[in-house]
Amino acid sequence: MPQSRNNFVHPHYIIITLIIGGITALFLGFTFSYLYNRVQQGVLPVVIPSLFYFNTILIIGSSCTLMVAKRAYLKDKTTLYKMALWVTLILSFLFLYMQILAWKQLVSSNISLNHSTMASYLYLISGLHFLHLLAGIPFLIKFIYIAQKRMVDPVTVLVYFSDPDKKRDLHILNIYWHFLDGLWIYLVIFFLINYII
């Protein structure tokens, strides 16, 4: 018996749920493995670079500006919507650039990928997060491109803002971005607690 339209869950929501579930399992596996190896080997944890803390501000900022874009979309505020998307993209690229600098900071402190098991885990875990954020950027760029191309006059703006597919996809992008934000905060806290204890 087919479900009513009100009970229908769009496949994109199912896909993002599965993606987030898979990423969560992956990072929980690596962080618990880090903890297990640290306890078993009795080795000292690696001190995370100070840039990791600055990157936390950047990724929270990108999450906030994407939320502003979503609210601007719902309120039909064209200029704010476009600007918030651009700022989100800039902050995201800045996060990726600063992450590369953070790894260079580690290398300059003589903590290379082969320095220790804990150092390898740090590079691996932060690198995976880097790749997951990088994977989301093309979708963000697509939103910016379509907005710039289609929102040129009052009629096209009205059509754009009334598109239910755009609203849904923007919501899904927000879910993914906020998840990566929360994941980064979890990782920074995890490494910090491991160093303190």
Q: What fold does the segment set 5-196 form as a domain?
A: Four Helix Bundle (Hemerythrin (Met), subunit A) (1.20.120)
**Listed residue (190, 194, 171) closest to 182, CA to CA:** 190
- Give the tens place of pLDDT for each residue, 15-50: 999 999 999 999 999 999 988 888 888 777 788 888
Q: Supply the pLDDT for residue 5.
A: 53
Q: Supply the pLDDT for residue 4.
A: 42
Q: Which has more pLDDT, 30 or 112?
A: 30
Q: Supply the pLDDT for residue 2.
A: 42
Domain boundaries, the chain: 5-196
Q: Supply the pLDDT for residue 92.
A: 96
What span, in angstroms and rounded, lies between the C-alpha atoms of 1 and 115?
59
**Which amino acid appears at position 158 of this protein?**
L
Q: Supply the pLDDT for residue 7.
A: 65
Question: Mean of the pLDDT values across residues 85-103?
Answer: 96
Q: Supply the pLDDT for residue 113.
A: 77
